[in-house]
């Protein structure tokens, strides 16, 4: 397999994994530089990058800056490779390289910046997944019942994961962008998942259930040592109060709440 073919094979696998991933492409050069137009580098948030931007300090800075800034939209970065490493108004990044040239690099996020983890593959989970993929969420559905994780019940964009809820760290990328919705089929599982998530980083954590059910669950979680401050991070009962009853009505109420937060400046 050619070097380019190997790169795209790795890139496809990384994209299908759904984890944060960026592609950096050299789109313009001027003067002496090891970078060449068309060179590409794939940068995951964690793990090794692959591809090539010509090596050296510029490639190192691209990787470092992507992981620090985690850009959510396409960006164009300019790198000055002159001996003085001057930074100019156009946004060039200074380096200590002495090539004397300049390179422009296009940065593209190759993942949705809005990962949504739906814990529970029942009727409400199926309806929410169906709507959420249309609203630009990257959907992962997790359930401990393998028989419910049938591809025909979910949109093809959704990732389906069998997990018994004891190892959620394996399948949820807990970070400040993560949306998590708990809708399992029992109080025990809701509480188990909630306890696994509360002390992790996330952008949104919600749990379905009546006011009575939520109060009972929170009381038991609090008895295990969780503080009021930690519990205040939870949205429950979940969704906007639109008197929803059917799975799709419930999904609309939940998705409206998620979109409100997603689009918040």
Between 78 and 153, the higher pLDDT residue:
153
Task: Give the pLDDT mean for 132-156.
Answer: 95
Whole-number pLDDT of residue 99: 52
Dihedral (Cα; 171, 176, 177, 180), 10-degree rounding? 50
Do 77 and 128 fall into the same domain? no
Phi-psi region of 29 (alpha: psi -120 to 50; beta: other; left: phi over 0): beta
Strands 75-80 and 102-109: antiparallel
| Cα-to-chain-centroid distance, residue 57 | 28
Cα Rg, the chain, nearest whole Å: 22
Confidence grade of residue 120 (pLDDT, cut at 50, 70, 90): very high
Residues near 45 by beta carbon (within 8 Å), at least 6 away in sequence: 19, 20, 21, 67, 70
Do 66 and 152 fall into the same domain? no
Task: Give the pLDDT mean for 174-201.
Answer: 93
Domain boundary among 56, 83, 109: 109
Task: Give the pLDDT mean for 142-163.
Answer: 95
Beta bridge partners of 16: none
Do 209 and 158 fall into the same domain? yes
Give phi and psi for 102, each to the nearest 5.
Answer: -145, 150
Q: Cα–Cα distances in Å, from 205 out to 86, 157, 254?
A: 45, 22, 11
- pLDDT greater than 80 at residue 114: yes
pTM above 0.85, yes or no: no
Distance, CA of 69 to CA of 49 (rounded, Å): 16
How many domains are there within the chain?
Answer: 2
Do 103 and 129 fall into the same domain? no
Whole-number pLDDT of residue 64: 92
| Cα-to-chain-centroid distance, residue 24 | 18
Q: What is the CATH number of the domain that holds 215?
A: 3.40.50.720
Whole-number pLDDT of residue 176: 86
- pLDDT greater than 70 at residue 15: yes
Do 159 and 235 fall into the same domain? yes
Whole-number pLDDT of residue 100: 56
Residues near 32 by beta carbon (within 8 Å), at least 6 away in sequence: 81, 99, 100, 101
- pLDDT greater than 90 at residue 103: no
The domain of 33 spans 3-109
């Amino acid at each position: 397999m050619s070097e380019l073919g190997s790169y795209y094979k790795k890139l496809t696998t990384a994209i299908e994994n759904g984890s944060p991933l960026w592609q950096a492409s050299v789109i313009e050069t001027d003067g002496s530089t090891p970078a060449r137009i068309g060179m590409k580098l794939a940068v995951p948030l964690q793990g090794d990058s692959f591809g090539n931007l010509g090596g050296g300090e510029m490639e190192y800075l691209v990787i470092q800056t992507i992981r620090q800034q985690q850009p959510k939209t396409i960006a164009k970065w300019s790198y000055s490779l002159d001996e003085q490493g001057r930074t100019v108004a156009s946004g060039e990044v200074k380096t200590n390289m002495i090539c004397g040239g300049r390179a422009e690099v296009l940065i593209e996020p190759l993942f949705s910046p809005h990962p949504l983890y739906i814990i529970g593959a029942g009727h409400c989970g199926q309806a929410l997944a169906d709507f959420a993929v249309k609203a630009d969420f990257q959907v992962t559905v997790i359930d401990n019942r393998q028989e419910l994780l049938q591809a025909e019940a979910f949109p093809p964009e959704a990732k389906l994961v069998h997990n018994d809820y004891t190892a959620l760290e394996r399948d949820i990328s807990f970070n400040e962008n993560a949306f998590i919705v708990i809708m399992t089929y029992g109080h025990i599982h809701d509480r188990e998942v909630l306890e696994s998530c509360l002390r992790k980083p996330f952008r949104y954590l919600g749990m379905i259930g009546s006011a009575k059910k939520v109060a009972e669950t929170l009381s038991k979680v609090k008895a295990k040592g969780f503080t009021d401050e930690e519990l205040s991070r939870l949205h429950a009962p979940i969704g906007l109060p639109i008197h929803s009853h059917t799975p799709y009505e419930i999904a609309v109420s939940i998705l409206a709440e998620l979109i409100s937060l997603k689009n918040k400046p």
